[in-house]
Amino acid sequence: MDAEQQQQQPGNSEQSPLLGGPGDATQQDKPLYYNFIIGTGVVAQAGAWILAAIVWGAVFSNDLILFSAHPLLNSAAVLFFIQAILILQPTHTAKQKKQGTYTHAALNNVALLAAVAGLIVIEYNKIDHGGKHFESPHAILGLITYIMVAGQALVGITQ
């Protein structure tokens, strides 16, 4: 098969989605928790759990201090946000959408609480140690992320 024929094959063009096309991750008549592993959900799960394991391993391999809660809570928030996304994405029927919406909201609430707790911990730690707030690129990007997450939560609540 020459290069031109390969370009004409579905999924081989620059416009083809890298993670699958429409319908590649369709929920069958199975329990909702199967959504966690449908399609490329396995790849997302692997990345999320590996990230959490690396962060938690690094934190717990050192002495625990007040600051330690910040990376633990934020990595837990990321893990829960990913679960919230995966649970809702492939729903199709009214029943699936209703169950998915409630589970999505619950997982998002847990993630949001973990993220806010992570922010509170780091801010309290900065105040306690007389540190400057939101000066490093990490801190600025973190603040932008918190603002975007809060905005996304507001959009989700209004729907």
Angle at 108 between CA 75 and CA 83, to 5 degrees: 65
pTM for the model stands at: 0.81
Ranges of each domain in the chain: 41-158
Provide the terminal-to-terminal Cα distance of the chain, rounded to the nearest Å. Answer: 49
Say how far apart CA 142 and CA 86 lie, in whole Å.
23
**Which one, of 78, 91, 118, 105, lies nearest residue 32 by Cα?**
91
pLDDT in tens, 19-28: 566 666 666 6
Going by pLDDT thresholds of 50, 70 and 90, the confidence category of residue 91 is: confident
**Which one, of 45, 72, 78, lies nearest residue 57 by Cα?**
72
pLDDT at 88 over 90: no
pLDDT at 64 over 70: yes
pLDDT in tens, 105-142: 999 999 999 999 999 999 999 999 999 999 999 999 99
pLDDT at 44 over 90: yes
Does domain 41-158 sit in CATH 1.20.120.1770? yes
**Which one, of 64, 38, 132, lies nearest residue 72 by Cα?**
64
Cα 131 vs. chain centroid, distance in angstroms?
29
